[in-house]
Structure 1
Amino acid sequence: MLPEEKQQDRKESGERSKEDDVQFAVSEELLSYTPEQEGKIRRKIDLYLLPVLALLYLMSYLDRSNMGNAAIIGLKEDLHLSSTQYNLCNSIFFIPYAIFEIPSNLVLKVLRPSVFIGLMVVAWGIVSTLQGIVTSFSGLMAARFFLAICEAGFFPAASYLLTMWYRRHEIQLRAGIFYSAGALSGALSGLLAYLINMMDGVGGLAGWRWLFILEGIVTVLLGLAAPFLLPDSPESARFLNEEEKAILMHRLKYDTGTQHGSYNEKQAFKWKYVWQALRDYKVWFIIVVYWGSSIPIYGFIYALPTVVAELGYTSAVAQLMTMPIYVAAVIALLLAAYLSDRAKDRSLFVIWPLILGGIGLIGLMAIPKYGYAPGALYFMLFLVAMGLYCIVCGTVAWTANNLAGPWKRSAGMALMISVGNLGGAAGTNIYLAREAPHYWTGYGTSLGVIVLSLAAALFLRFKFKQLNREKEAMSLEEVYERYSEEELLEMGDESPLFRYTI
């Protein structure tokens, strides 16, 4: 915000429009709202926004990861898939998924979010259902390709949507609640696969076909309901009164990490904001951090039922034994998200989960196989899942916190998620059947990526501290002597008034 005397000068000179005068008047009037009012508004948003996003993300994860469950109940045998072909069907998903994420997030700024997200959900639900009638390797490849196109925009859109409603140090817990549905889907997927496989032979269809068909139909129904359930923006929220909307907009506008400066959510689109995100080296470093989750986690998801089965259990029991692993992952990511928001620190809650996941992978490689210590191996799977799932929420929140300007933030988050998720194409090909039960390539590659990601996270922690010190060296008077308010808004996160979240 401009110093009081600067505001008065602009008012006397007639620089501000009538709309600006109203905005400044509302801002000044609302400076006295209480923490209790803020808490009530947050609880309302939590109630109306988070359950819908979490449920849709649950179906998103189910529809992309149920391949792992289908594989051990007959998909490979019925379609005569080799291990290479099966891996290709998994990895093909991530190429169109990455390509379409940035365009999708830009479209989100133009169309109503509820309608756009609803259309995406219906589209991928239809494709998911059609996976249940494929008869060949090529048919499954095509289905996975189009499933990726339809799903591509959802995760970055939902993540960006959270930044439209919450302040910087409120995001990770909400992202954790939203993303926990993805981890929970791993547990639910095993249970559903176990139950749905009992339909094997019903209607002349194999159990794995019913898995795709039934989960796809549920997704379509939820997609049709999404436009009626999701709020589009704070201004149009029917569950907030006018005073609550004004408070919410005020607290978001001045959420720049300092007591000065403001944020323009209504910024007009310019291609330069997209290029700023593409050229920002900090975004590319956070992508490397994100790989520490995406590469290991996608291989882990698709291989987990098989790895558990190789501990000496039947495929049916192995499906059920994956459930506690995912439940532990959900608890860990929610705890990490809560602590991160309270500490107002993002990097530490990325660094420590990376270390935890690395310890689990070392254990999986070091402990002898062939029945010597199945309990210890099973425990290490818990450590891997708990570490890997925490990293995703941490990197999403860290990125959202450190990109200012709605278009740069939208493009930067989509870039991070899209290129980051390209790691999934690698992750789905590192667990080689011929290496069972050791999986040296899978565990070793995952560990190497985690070490690289850890180095990138430590660098960013150091760099953000350094950049904040440089900004703090410039006094408020020097800032306003050098830059106008409009210039400061255009600078986004490079503004000397903006502070990076460590």
Structure 2
Amino acid sequence: MPLVTDANVNADPDYDNEKDVGRLYGGGLQLSPAEHTRLLRKIDWHILPLVTLLYLLSFLDRSNIGNAKIAGLSTDLHLVGLRYNIAAAVFFVLYIFAEVPSNIILKLFRPSRWIPTTMVAWGLVTTLMCLVNTYQGLLATRVFLGLTEAGLFPGVNFYLSMWYPRAYLAKRIAIFYSAATLSGAFGGTLAYAIVKMDGIGGLHGWQWIFCLEGLATMIIAFGAFFFMHDYPETASFLTEVERRNIIGLLKDDSQNLATHYDFQFVLQALKDYKTYIQSGLLIGLIVPVYSIALFIPTIINELGFSAVHSQLLSVPPYIAGCVCTILVGIHSDMNKLRGPYIIGGACVSLVGYIVLYTQKNPGASYVGTVLAAAGAFATVPVSLAWVGSNAGGDMKRGVVIATVIALANLGGICASFIYHDPPRFHDGHGTNIGCLVFGILGTTFSMWNYNRINKQKEKQCRENGITEEHRDEFRNIGDESPLFRYTI
């Protein structure tokens, strides 16, 4: 079977995305192109809805503090000065350090046990936040919420990479990540309804937000123990022919690189300079995303809208973000490109923040929030698909994904402190403008660098007669294999 790379695919005018998967990966596989398409759709229906729901609940539980703030949390717990910002930031303290160990544990144990277990834990913490009555108690619960939530986001990105070939990841990650935007839209609407329970059971409206949303997470988590599948090798919904084909697809796509655990693969990930370049550019994209999640109700409130209406008006920016996230992910897969779509989304968000920075009119500023959200959210899943696509070998990929996400979440700490100068928030909007420019520059450099390395590998293969028949010789060196090609 000839070597299949993104360059081969892009050069083939007859290539038609998933419909031609059987032709591209045809060595020994038994399904027709149409059957391959149905196989991917079958996997989609059994994998994506559940992980999307899990992430919706995760993002809802980490960002509902923004809705609770304008529902009375700030007044009742005396969150003066930077107290709210600190409460938002401490979430990331243990979150960052727990992500890499969590992905290693996920590889060593079953995803269907590890991911729901972490979910039960953070659902319990969220529920107990309704009992918090001091600022110090709020800080403690936010720290533990970060620790318990740490495994989900990097874990699911790693999990999806073990089900889908690289060329089809962006769309699936976009669908999964769209839950973040849906949670924002759903969270604003839900908070609007829940705060009307103020006084029931002796609890304030903001306490009911934490209580009900945490209980919902725990209920779904217990169901996930029974409905989550581990790997294609053990999936009960696949026939034997389908199982052989998807395993064959994944082996061909990875150039048969190592799938077992070995500490050398962890070191490969941590020593790879590209890991830190990807982390840097993702920080530039993450700061605006977390700014939206933590502060959009406050930003809209300061435009002159009431607290109640601010909850509802926070919904449209998230809806715009959801639509753009999915559309960008689909087109990124169709064109087998990552970098240009990251730059495009960042530019849209950049325009939105420039509008917010320069305009005083509430209507124009509100349009700026929609543009900022639509562009910022769309960049992240493509960036994560890029990270997973360009790390070779299961264990290295898992550690690279977790490391990039962990370091990028330093941007969450930054985002927690930049909105402190109402009503115009020039510091916050200006910081996001700078971060987006940084993300664009980092993406541009990465595209150039990956293209440069691909050309070096092609020359190496040509001069040394290296073909696919030699791929087992490079099984343990990950994406350093001369047969591995980076996605641009």
Per the normalisation by structure 1, the TM-score is: 0.90
**Equivalent AA in structure 1 for residue 182 of structure 2:** L
Give the equivalent residue in structure 1 for 2:130. 132
The correspondence for 2:473, drawn from 487, 494, 497, is 487
Helix, strand or coil for the counterpart of 2:417? coil
Q: Could you say which residue in structure 2 is the equivalent of 1:190?
A: 188
Q: Which residue of 2 aligns with 1:171?
A: 169
- Within 5 Å, which residues of 2 pair with 1:61-140? 61-140=59-138
Identity of aligned residues (%): 40
**Which residue pairs with 2:22 in the alignment?**
none
Name the CA distance, whole Å, in 2 between partners of 1:217 and 1:375.
37
Q: Which moved more, 1:214-223 or 1:270-279?
A: 270-279
Q: Partners in 2 of 1:179 and 1:135 — Cα distance?
A: 33
> What is the identity, as a one-letter code, of the residue corresponding to 1:287?
S
Cα deviation for residue 357 of structure 1 reads 1.1
Q: Which amino acid aligns with 1:313?
A: F
Give the aligned residue type for 1:464.
Answer: Y
Which of 268, 292, 302 is 1:300 aligned to?
Answer: 292
Shift of 1:374: 1.4
Please tell me whether residue 343 in structure 1 is matched to residue 330 in structure 2. Answer: no
Tell me if the contact between 1:94 and 1:425 (Cα under 8 Å) persists in the aligned partners. Answer: yes
Indicate if the aligned counterparts of 1:2 and 1:485 stay in contact, CA closer than 8 A: no
Query: Paired residue for 1:281?
Result: 273
> Do the aligned partners of residues 299 and 481 (structure 1) sit closer, same or farther apart at CA in structure 2, a change above 3 Å counting?
closer
Q: What is the aligned partner in structure 2 of residue 47 from structure 1?
A: 45
Matched, 1:437 2:423: yes
2:455 counterpart residue number: 469
Report the 3-state secondary structure (helix = DSSP H, G, I; strand = E; otherwise coil) of the residue aligned with 1:109.
helix
Pair 1:497-2:483 in alignment: yes
Q: Whole-Å Cα distance in 1 between the matches of residues 413 and 26 of structure 2?
A: 51
Deviation at 1:458, TM superposition (A): 0.4
SS of residue matched to 2:87: helix
- Structure 1 gap ranges (5+): 4-26
Tell me the equivalent position of 2:256: 262
Residue 255 of structure 1 contacts residue 263 of structure 1 at CA under 8 Å; is this kept in 2?
no
Look up the match of 2:149. Answer: 151
Q: Kindly provide the CA deviation profile for residues 15-71 of structure 1, in whole angstroms up to 9, marking residues without a partner as x.
A: xxxxxxxxxxxx987345311111111111110110000001000001000000000
- Structure with the greater alpha carbon radius of gyration: 1
* Matched residues, number: 467
CA distance in 1, matches of 2:294, 2:63: 7
Shift of 1:487: 3.2
Q: Indicate the SS of the match to 1:337.
A: helix
CA drift at 1:474: 2.9
1:395 equivalent in alignment to 2:388: no
2:389 is aligned with what amino acid? N
- Deviation readout 1:376-419 (Å, 9 max, x if unpaired): 11111111001110111011000000000111100000000011
The aligned residue for residue 363 of structure 1 is 355
**Cα drift, residue 481 of structure 1:** 9.1
- Is 1:161 the counterpart of 2:149? The answer is no
Contact 1:299 1:429 in 2 (8 A): no
Matched, 1:315 2:307: yes
3-state SS of the aligned residue for 1:473? helix
Partner of 1:141: 139
The residue aligned with 1:410 is 398
- Whether the aligned pair in 1 keeps the contact of 2:2 and 2:468 (CA below 8 Å) is no
Question: Partners in 1 of 2:449 and 2:463 — Cα distance?
Answer: 25
Shift of 1:213: 0.3
**SS where residue 305 of structure 2 aligns?**
coil
Structure 1 residue identity aligned to 2:202: G
Distance of 1:253 and 1:130 partners within structure 2:
45
Equivalent pair of 1:252/1:263 in contact (CA under 8 Å): no
SS of the residue corresponding to residue 30 of structure 1 reads: coil
Amino acid at match of 1:462: W
Aligned partners of 1:44 and 1:482: how far apart in 2? 30
The SS at the match of 2:441 is helix
Aligned partners of 2:285 and 2:228: how far apart in 1? 28
Moved over 3 A (4+): 479-487
Aligned equivalent of 2:408: 420
1:436 Cα deviation after fit: 1.0
Matched residue, 2:368: 380
